[in-house]
Amino acid sequence: MAYTDIISLDDAKLYLRVDDTQTEDDTQITRMINGALSYVERYTNYILFARDKEYRLIDGKVRVYDYPINSEVTSDLESSNKTLHTIYTLGSDNSLITLNVGYVSNTDIPQELIEVAYEIIDIYYYGKESGKTMADLSPLSKDVLNNYKRFIL
């Protein structure tokens, strides 16, 4: 799966009110889709499509803030779920564990996060003309991102 499986080029163009026969911006809009959904993932730690990620154990533990976690716990790996993260414990230090994280189905992705991504795509696309930046993201979208955020400094 890829980000364009979540928000297709055609859907993004429809949202941006770009004529579907206009193709000169297709590559740019596709990059914007990738950037917007990647931004949502980095901000919230909600991984929008399933993939394997490596995590380094330090002092025999790793806190995984990414969500959802699809991997089954193996016998030599112990996990405990906390509210905003999962702790995996293993005996050796500095070893790597690979977990499959992310939504397996697009229908499971919270729709609010996809709507935020659409607004980000709009800011990317029209930002040069309008002067809008990510600071101009609507209060509603900021609230959605903050409500889904899994790691707070």
CATH of residue 110: 1.10.3230.30
Q: What pTM, to 2 d.p., does this model score?
A: 0.88
Specify the higher pLDDT residue, 9 or 59: 9
pLDDT at position 107: 96
User: DSSP state, 69?
Assistant: B
Q: Where are the beta strands (DSSP E) in the chain?
A: 51-56, 61-64, 78-81, 86-89, 96-101
In a domain, 153, yes or no: no
Which domain does 41 fall in, by range?
Answer: 3-47+105-148
31 and 59: one domain? no
Number of domains composing the chain: 2
Measured over the CA atoms of residue 70, residue 73, residue 74 and residue 76, the dihedral's sign is positive
42 CB neighbour count, 10 Å cutoff: 8
- Residue 86 pLDDT grade (very low, low, confident, very high; cuts 50, 70, 90): confident
| Mean pLDDT score across all residues of the chain | 90
Q: What percent of the chain has pLDDT over 70?
A: 88
111 and 39: one domain? yes
Question: Mean pLDDT over residues 51-59, rounded?
Answer: 88
User: Which of 22-36, 64-78, 101-115 has the lowest average pLDDT?
Assistant: 64-78
81 CB neighbour count, 10 Å cutoff: 10
Contact present, 115 and 141 (Cβ < 8 Å): yes
